[in-house]
Structure 1
Amino acid sequence: MEQHGTLTSFLPTDGLDINGGREAMARFQEWLREQFLAGQPVGELVASRSSFIDQLLILGWEQFGLNQHPQLALVAVGGYGRGELHPHSDIDILILSHTTLPAALGETIGEYLTLLWDLRLEVGHAVRSVQECIEQGRADITIATNLIESRLITGSVQTFADLNHAIQPERFWPSADFFRAKRDEQVARHQQYKDTVYLLEPDLKSNPGGLRDIQTLAWVARRQFGATTLYEMTSYGFLSRSEYLELLDCQNFLWRLRFALHIAIGKNDNRMLFDRQRAVAELLGYPGQGNAPIEQMMKRFYQTVRRIAELNRMLLQLFDEAILGNQSTETLLLDEHFLLRGNRIDTREAELFLRSPVLMLTMFIQIADHPEITGIAAGCLRQLREARRTLIYSLQELPECRQQFMALIRHPNGMGLPITLMHEHGILAAYLPQWNQIVGQMQFDMFHAYTVDEHTHRLLKNIYRFLLPTNEREQPLFREVHKRLPKAELLLLAALFHDIAKGRGGDHSELGASEALYFCQLHGLDRYDSRLVAWLVRQHLLFSVTAQRRDIYDPDVVNDFAEKVRDEQHLDYLYCLTVADICATNDNLWNDWKGTLLRELYFATQKALRLGLENPPDLKLKIRENQRKAQEILAANAQPEHAIDTLWQNFKADYFLRHTPEQIAWHTQHILHHDKSEPLVLFGQHAARGGSELFIYCRDMSNLFATVAAILSHKGLNIHDAQIMTSKDGYVMDTFVVLEPNGDPVDAERLPSLRKGLTIALNNPAMPLPKPRPLSRRHRQFSVPTRITFLPNKGDRKHTLIELTALDRPGLLARIGAVFQQCDLTVHAAKITTIGERVEDFFSLSRPQGAPLSDIDEHQLEEKLVAELNPDDDM
């Protein structure tokens, strides 16, 4: 590519004005796009844009006569200073002088900058003297870094040389101080991104393992050694040639992603948001249908940033030793192969892992045995990387490796630092072939916050973390149940395999169960333990699905779940796996409401198993017991017994079965003192079952469910559970569990407004309901077809149970309720579960007379729900 001649042809020939400049830039940007799609190396293209911008700025500089001022220099800083400009990268410039500028010259510079902005260039600028640069650079590491990689575009060579002289290490940010500042800056940046490379909407620059991590290495090397390229680092013994080529390959891939992202969105933004990933994958030519192109691209991305993070970690440690002299002279022999160097483990001889691969696993057992170890020494890590890459078989094929792996699984500290380091440095993938398949396997949805391998890693860490003495209060029931597990390692093996088959098509639970069974048998577990692990993998979603999407206050649901669980030991293992799994899915998924559901299902199932499934609970006895306890509470509050009995005669038996004595007493006390001509709207004084309890008592009305759903949605609240009941005298007694969007109970300050809004709506059934908000940007990227499943009618149920899956959208529940109303159906119960971008809801319905739906009713309902929940105007 004859760059200079090509770039010159884009420049305006009659001077730089707004129209000519914009046209020149538009033609150049189109040329960049064409060259990129034609396969031109990105490194050449970012250099081309930098050169083009140089010429454009020089043209304007001369047009305003700024070249006539002998001490004035135009300097590129930041990425522009390195000569790297992606299609919409910021253009950071420094207008440099020796002295304070005259007012007239300042006005001319202002006019010059205004023209650049009018051309729609994203220009970041500073106008400073050399002395001001030094003063501000000393106070701010970011300014200092920009100055260190500055480049003269045009103007005074002497002024720029004076700046370069002033920022030499002996005068300005000595190498040691600079290294400390950049290291601390990286730590703070990583923390902003949860210190993981595996976020599903990463930032290509700032994410751990992103471009900024490569730049950090280059900045430190430049300050310490004067190295201006990554290749020069090989001359100083910090990078081997293979490591340099690896780092260069990683950088080139991220550059291609970033270049394509800028083209796709037409602006300077480096976040790979869901709604951008498909367009970028298409520009990069990834093949396949559906989400396959996105998943291929992002898998390569995660594998790339993991490699960068590993090299970054190793090199910063070497820099720490070389620049700060932090190479510990204190060593402690651990065994014949390993020693402790400071607080990092190291090998006692070179090529240790190449000669004996089993020692890779032995090293992690040493880390588990010595809590004072905080990491792996750089030299040892380099050995580990080299040995890992020479393996031509999986480590689990070696019997001695299998012994070491199981010893680590059974070690009380094995799921602490050792499992994290094995995950970060590819040893889990080297040991387990199936793990290698899920490394970087993304899940294109809004439910999972991490890749499959990172999610599983976090699950294993949760099991370890919940048991630490410092976390006693986080999951008390988990700790209590875990103590009863006869073999804790079986839970860890089930966790390791629960999602191991994702991304292969088919039922990942079934595929994973088969592989778990083989793994357990290969590793010497007996038949019972192997089958238990396989069962846990196969059923790892059973507990959460039943608790969140079934009516767990229905004895038949509990019995059905208990039959599948079979005994208390299976129940204990499955409970622990479920809690750790939910908490590892994303940081915002767990809340008190989910915890309460799981606990209530756990204890109800435990009771059913202890009574024996052949001995179902006496429901009449349960009703009488709830009434007796509620009467005691009411009597303590001086409520007249005859008034209570009169009111309760209108309540159906199911009401007393599905509410606690405290709820019954609370409802009764307020109803007795309420004017029945007005709706009674109550919010519990305290959080109920992990959420806020809303109770409504009023004359029955056909659209009540839809009305309540619409009002609560408009107020930004989420319904998670609903019990819809009607008294014998025609009053509804509806209970809703509602939460704030973050999963907390409703803020007490909002309750008066909510009560007022609901009361107005219930008093005016014909009042137009508030319109739902439009679909969010993120939701628009997902297609979730509405699916209705009618559950089998076991026994003599009077209600029809349905599951509904659909795209989550504002006002969805109100729309569903409106369809129920159109079909003249009564809602008896609802469980609302939001899983990222989709909902998986459960409803109990009947015809007005209390009978289950007929085949015709079901067909009509399904048609109307699909038509209502897939409207074209929402997308």
Structure 2
Amino acid sequence: MSGEGAGDAPAPEPVAGLSDPGTSPLDDATWAAAARAAVARLDATLATSFKADCDIDRLLKARTAGVDTQVVAAWRRCVDTDEGLALFAVGGYGRGELFPQSDIDLLVLAEPSAQVAHADALARFIALLWDAGLQAGHAVRSAMQCTEAAADLTVMTALLESRPLVAEDAATVALQDAVSPSLVWPARDFFAAKREELRLRHARYGDTADNLEPNLKEGPGGLRDVHTLRWMALRILGTGDMDSLVAIGLMGADEVATIRRERQALSRLRWGLHLVAGKREERLRFDYQKLLAARLGHEDSAGNLGVEQMMQGFYRSAALVLRIGDRLLQRFEEQLEGEAEPEPIDDLFELRRGYLAARDPVWPRTPDAMLALFAVWAQRTDVRGLHSRTARALAETLPMLPSYEEAAPALRHRFMQLLRGPNPVGTLSRMARLGLLGRWIPAFSNVSGRMQFDLFHVYTVDQHTLAVLKNLASFASGQADERFVLAHEVWPRLHKPELLLLAGLFHDIAKGRGGDHSELGAVDARAFCETMGLSEGATALVEWLVRQHLLMSLTAQKQDIADPDVIHRFATVVADRERLDHLYLLTCADIAGTSPKLWNAWKDRLLADLYTATRLALRRGLENPVAAAERSAETRAGAKAMLGAFGVRDEEVDALFARMPDVGFQRGRPDQLAWQAASLRGVATGETRVRARPVSAHAGALEVFVHSPDRDGLFAAIVATLDRCGLAIQQARVLDGPHGTIFDSFEVVPADPRTTPSAEDIERRLAMALAGSLEAIRPARRAQPRHLRHFRIVPQVGFYTLDASGQPRTMLSLVCNDRPGLLADVACALRDQGLRVHDARIATFGERAEDVFQITDERDLPLDDPAQQALREALLACLDGESR
């Protein structure tokens, strides 16, 4: 498993006075201090060698040898060499892989009588190591006790890596015999247990290496996966040397070279991580990513930060480890179980133990044969995966596959058949995982493993793209999904679903090039579609979707879609219902595929409302925009019909509507206005009424309605109370009603899905809070989450004037770091400035908050320049203290 490379690592440094424990002039404390200093000097020298790009295997070997020197010296200082005790290094230390902050695992092999006789000497030995700064874990066992302890899989694994430090040959043989397959863990049982252990470990990390803060050791595709393959080989074949597996035909030389190269790349990352963390840290946290990237020599370039380059290297290494690991697991299984009788599928392919395999021993002979494999795979639901020999043959002949630009028309036709055939998304995912998609579309290869250093995009670009395609596939299933209220209804209207899949495939393909990725991606999409022979209409649709794939999301989240003018402008860009259907589905899939936490009930309803309103506008005709009065009349009629259906007489409905603001009927939905009107029944003038209701079927999402006599600071008090209830506000609409009342509505979701307050609890707590002094209600004090500290955004505060239905107002835009309680703090700052909030739109993109407020002064007038400057200073002071 070792590799060769340039650069020399230093030899271990002995400590004076260690050669003869009987004549050593040093007491234990002095010896330990000297040993600690020697290890520190070695580590400092190794750190310098690491910076000089010394071969990582030489560094690991040098540190192991240096620690061996001190461990053996401590042993000889404490234990007589002829007393029947043997010392072994086990685990990672036994394997010879000691990183800067690795601990050391030791086994003392001794019969029970010797254990008792030398208990004090062994205790002194371990204490001496700890005093020397060597974090030693140890076990003292006889051979029989080793056999018993090895029933535990973790112990067995550690003992597989045993390496004698101070031991006679007889002791080494005794230890090997104690854990032989005849006594404990036969090869078949060990393989099955280790494979299950690997599966469970991967599941703990979401079965993906593409995490924002990956674990270099334990995560999927990490060093532990390489170790697991080695342990399996040791137990099944008696060797952990990968070169030996080539000799017996279990691995190819190319596979061994790849696994060695990626292990070294991962080891170098782990070594550097230990250096920058200054402690035993295996998780590549945001705290260390930029520091490590700089230490490894990665520099920022246009559109590609150094940290992003480093992380892309990790993700690609992990992907290759996983790919080769899958093949080797199959081969170990066949080694243990024997070859199964093949089950023919057709003239070209067969199943071997459930794995899809090519029948031709020299497959693939042509690129068409490669794509034919995926066509057969898509038609079979009983395939466990790709057979290891076929997977290796595919990898070795991958350069045979041309890019789509260089491919023959027949091959392009074959690819389009895959998109139009069964399970096209599964096919694209398999092609991506096996490296074919990057060969076919070179631009996709450029974004494979590419991360973006922020909290908004939690996946690499290629994995995000595949997640978007998977969401689109769920829309095609025909089964309703409560997360997406309209998607399953819209999908059947698509005439050529493969066009939407192409838009999903290309929508982020230009990330990292610099410039607008939507524009650059649209150029790529058009080139692809034209080359593949799609019609001009189909090509134009895909190109437009890629160029405008952010349009619907930004319109819904940043503009007031209850405003007919906003709907008209959006509908004008969309232009027809075919584009609208495709864009709606792509937007839902894109947002939901960006982060598991990003999609929620508010976004679902927001996009559904925008889709419905735009579809109506297109049906009416863009030359006939909806006037505010017409919108108000339609909403009144709809709300009145709903109330009438529940037995509310027309006279009472009219009386209730008279108590509500006219602008609400221009901006609200009929069901919302009917619910608010019903909430006013029995409410006397000057009385406060709070109501909350769930939003559709989404767990925890609520709409909160507050009707109350108007008071300065009311908005800030409501926001602070909702924040204290553990709710994150997605949207706030603050309307002034007749007779000095307010009609405030809030769309909220739980800040922590594990603690979701009920609608009744929200109503009770808000009503109690508003019955007291508003000034006494302040935001909760919270520490800033760790991960937000590494993404610093310079706050941006902007103002402009908007004429909202004949009422001039100041629009405040705020861009800054998101954090718990941000909106509550901003609301209090507005209250302290004596300002009134009339509308608020809250948009969060990972660590970035982009909020917009409609505000006026106490006279309901826009803010003049001095007031704007005062507010800007107050907000910046508020944000400057965000660490709180």
| Superposition TM-score, scaled by structure 1 size | 0.91
- CA shift at 1:117, angstroms? 3.9
Q: State the secondary structure of the residue aligned to 1:725.
A: strand
Tell me whether 1:344 sits opposite 2:355 in the alignment: yes
Letter in 2 for 1:8: P
Q: Which residue matches 2:663?
A: 654
Q: State the secondary structure of the residue aligned to 2:736.
A: coil
The Cα RMSD (Å) is 3.2
- CA change 1:758–1:22 in 2 (3 A) is farther
Letter in 1 for 2:621: G
> Which is worse superposed, 719-728 or 607-616?
607-616
- CA change 1:753–1:112 in 2 (3 A) is farther
Tell me whether 1:478 sits opposite 2:487 in the alignment: yes
Tell me whether 1:426 sits opposite 2:435 in the alignment: yes
Q: Which residue matches 1:255?
A: 267
Report Cα offsets for 1:3-44 as digits up to 9, x if no partner.
Answer: 785422599883543544443443333222122112222212
Unaligned runs of 5+ in 2: 1-6, 19-24
Matching residue within 836, 847, 851 for 1:837: 847
- CA shift at 1:155, angstroms? 4.7
State the alpha-carbon separation in 1 of the partners of residues 88 and 551 from structure 2: 63
Q: State the secondary structure of the residue aligned to 1:67.
A: coil
Report Cα offsets for 1:790-820 as digits up to 9, x if no partner.
Answer: 6795896634445432211232212322443
Matching residue within 411, 415, 423 for 1:401: 411
Q: Which residue matches 1:70?
A: 83
Report Cα offsets for 1:100-140 as digits up to 9, x if no partner.
Answer: 666564355344434444555433332333222212212x2
Report Cα offsets for 1:405-444 as digits up to 9, x if no partner.
Answer: 111111132222x222211111000101111111111111
State the alpha-carbon separation in 1 of the partners of residues 33 and 724 from structure 2: 47
Tell me whether 1:56 sits opposite 2:70 in the alignment: yes
Report Cα offsets for 1:610-655 as digits up to 9, x if no partner.
Answer: 122333441342253255246537755xx9966x766654432013
Q: State the secondary structure of the residue aligned to 1:349.
A: coil
Q: Which residue matches 1:595?
A: 604
> Which is worse superposed, 289-298 or 859-868?
859-868
Q: Which residue matches 1:177?
A: 189
Matching residue within 419, 423, 427 for 1:413: 423
State the alpha-carbon separation in 2 of the partners of residues 397 and 121 from structure 1: 60
Letter in 1 for 2:66: F
State the alpha-carbon separation in 2 of the partners of residues 155 and 487 from structure 1: 72
Q: State the secondary structure of the residue aligned to 2:323.
A: helix
Tell me whether 1:302 sits opposite 2:315 in the alignment: yes
Q: Which residue matches 2:136?
A: 123
State the alpha-carbon separation in 2 of the partners of residues 401 and 445 from structure 1: 39
Report Cα offsets for 1:310-361 as digits up to 9, x if no partner.
Answer: 1111122122112221x222231523x43343433322334433x4123211
- CA change 1:100–1:843 in 2 (3 A) is farther
Given that residues 396 and 432 in structure 1 are in contact (C-alpha distance below 8 angstroms), is that contact kept between their aligned partners in structure 2?
no
Tell me whether 1:46 sits opposite 2:52 in the alignment: no
State the alpha-carbon separation in 2 of the partners of residues 700 and 307 from structure 1: 63
- CA change 1:677–1:38 in 2 (3 A) is same
- CA change 1:708–1:114 in 2 (3 A) is farther
Any residues of structure 2 matched to 1:173-252 within 5 Å, and which? Answer: 173-252=185-264
Q: Which residue matches 1:581?
A: 590
Tell me whether 1:284 sits opposite 2:293 in the alignment: no
- CA shift at 1:821, angstroms? 3.7
Letter in 1 for 2:104: I
- CA shift at 1:481, angstroms? 0.9
Given that residues 651 and 728 in structure 1 are in contact (C-alpha distance below 8 angstroms), is that contact kept between their aligned partners in structure 2?
yes
State the alpha-carbon separation in 1 of the partners of residues 402 and 535 from structure 2: 30
State the alpha-carbon separation in 1 of the partners of residues 115 and 234 from structure 2: 36
Q: State the secondary structure of the residue aligned to 2:101.
A: coil
- CA change 1:359–1:868 in 2 (3 A) is farther
> Which is worse superposed, 285-294 or 43-52?
285-294
Given that residues 721 and 832 in structure 1 are in contact (C-alpha distance below 8 angstroms), is that contact kept between their aligned partners in structure 2?
yes
- CA shift at 1:720, angstroms? 0.8
Q: Which residue matches 2:703?
A: 693
State the alpha-carbon separation in 2 of the partners of residues 797 and 432 from structure 1: 53
Q: State the secondary structure of the residue aligned to 1:57.
A: helix
State the alpha-carbon separation in 1 of the partners of residues 697 and 661 from structure 2: 23
Given that residues 365 and 414 in structure 1 are in contact (C-alpha distance below 8 angstroms), is that contact kept between their aligned partners in structure 2?
no
Q: Which residue matches 2:3?
A: none
Letter in 1 for 2:222: G
Any residues of structure 2 matched to 1:576-655 within 5 Å, and which? Answer: 576-617=585-626, 618-626=630-638, 628-629=640-641, 631-632=643-644, 636=648, 648-655=657-664
Q: State the secondary structure of the residue aligned to 2:438.
A: helix
Q: Which residue matches 1:521?
A: 530
Given that residues 469 and 501 in structure 2 are in contact (C-alpha distance below 8 angstroms), is that contact kept between their aligned partners in structure 1?
yes
State the alpha-carbon separation in 1 of the partners of residues 352 and 346 from structure 2: 10
- CA shift at 1:509, angstroms? 0.6
Q: State the secondary structure of the residue aligned to 2:513.
A: coil
Identical positions, percent: 36
Letter in 1 for 2:757: D
Letter in 1 for 2:476: L
Matching residue within 40, 45, 51 for 1:26: 40
- CA change 1:543–1:825 in 2 (3 A) is same
Report Cα offsets for 1:459-492 as digits up to 9, x if no partner.
Answer: 1222223333677666462222111101111101
Given that residues 447 and 837 in structure 1 are in contact (C-alpha distance below 8 angstroms), is that contact kept between their aligned partners in structure 2?
yes
Matching residue within 799, 813, 820 for 2:823: 813
Q: Which residue matches 1:151?
A: 163
Q: State the secondary structure of the residue aligned to 2:283.
A: coil
Q: Which residue matches 1:871?
A: 880
State the alpha-carbon separation in 1 of the partners of residues 379 and 87 from structure 2: 59
State the alpha-carbon separation in 1 of the partners of residues 661 and 777 from structure 2: 32
Given that residues 819 and 865 in structure 1 are in contact (C-alpha distance below 8 angstroms), is that contact kept between their aligned partners in structure 2?
yes
Q: State the secondary structure of the residue aligned to 1:585.
A: coil
Q: Which residue matches 2:557?
A: 548
- CA shift at 1:699, angstroms? 3.1
Q: Which residue matches 1:773?
A: 782
Unaligned runs of 5+ in 1: none
Q: State the secondary structure of the residue aligned to 2:743.
A: strand
| Superposition TM-score, scaled by structure 2 size | 0.90
Report Cα offsets for 1:757-806 as digits up to 9, x if no partner.
Answer: 77346622332624532322211111223335667958966344454322
State the alpha-carbon separation in 1 of the partners of residues 441 and 771 from structure 2: 60
- CA shift at 1:526, angstroms? 1.0
Letter in 2 for 1:315: L
Q: State the secondary structure of the residue aligned to 2:318.
A: helix
- CA shift at 1:390, angstroms? 5.5
Any residues of structure 2 matched to 1:739-750 within 5 Å, and which? Answer: 739-742=749-752, 746-748=756-758
- CA shift at 1:372, angstroms? 2.9
What is the aligned length? 864
- CA shift at 1:664, angstroms? 4.4
Q: State the secondary structure of the residue aligned to 1:224.
A: helix
- CA shift at 1:496, angstroms? 0.7
Given that residues 807 and 837 in structure 1 are in contact (C-alpha distance below 8 angstroms), is that contact kept between their aligned partners in structure 2?
yes
- CA shift at 1:870, angstroms? 4.9
Q: Which residue matches 2:334?
A: 321
Q: State the secondary structure of the residue aligned to 2:737.
A: coil
Q: Which residue matches 1:82?
A: 95
Given that residues 204 and 258 in structure 1 are in contact (C-alpha distance below 8 angstroms), is that contact kept between their aligned partners in structure 2?
yes
Matching residue within 364, 371, 377 for 1:361: 371
Tell me whether 1:8 sits opposite 2:14 in the alignment: yes
State the alpha-carbon separation in 1 of the partners of residues 861 and 634 from structure 2: 25
- CA change 1:861–1:633 in 2 (3 A) is farther
Letter in 2 for 1:506: G
State the alpha-carbon separation in 1 of the partners of residues 17 and 773 from structure 2: 68
Given that residues 444 and 509 in structure 2 are in contact (C-alpha distance below 8 angstroms), is that contact kept between their aligned partners in structure 1?
yes
Matching residue within 121, 136, 141 for 2:149: 136
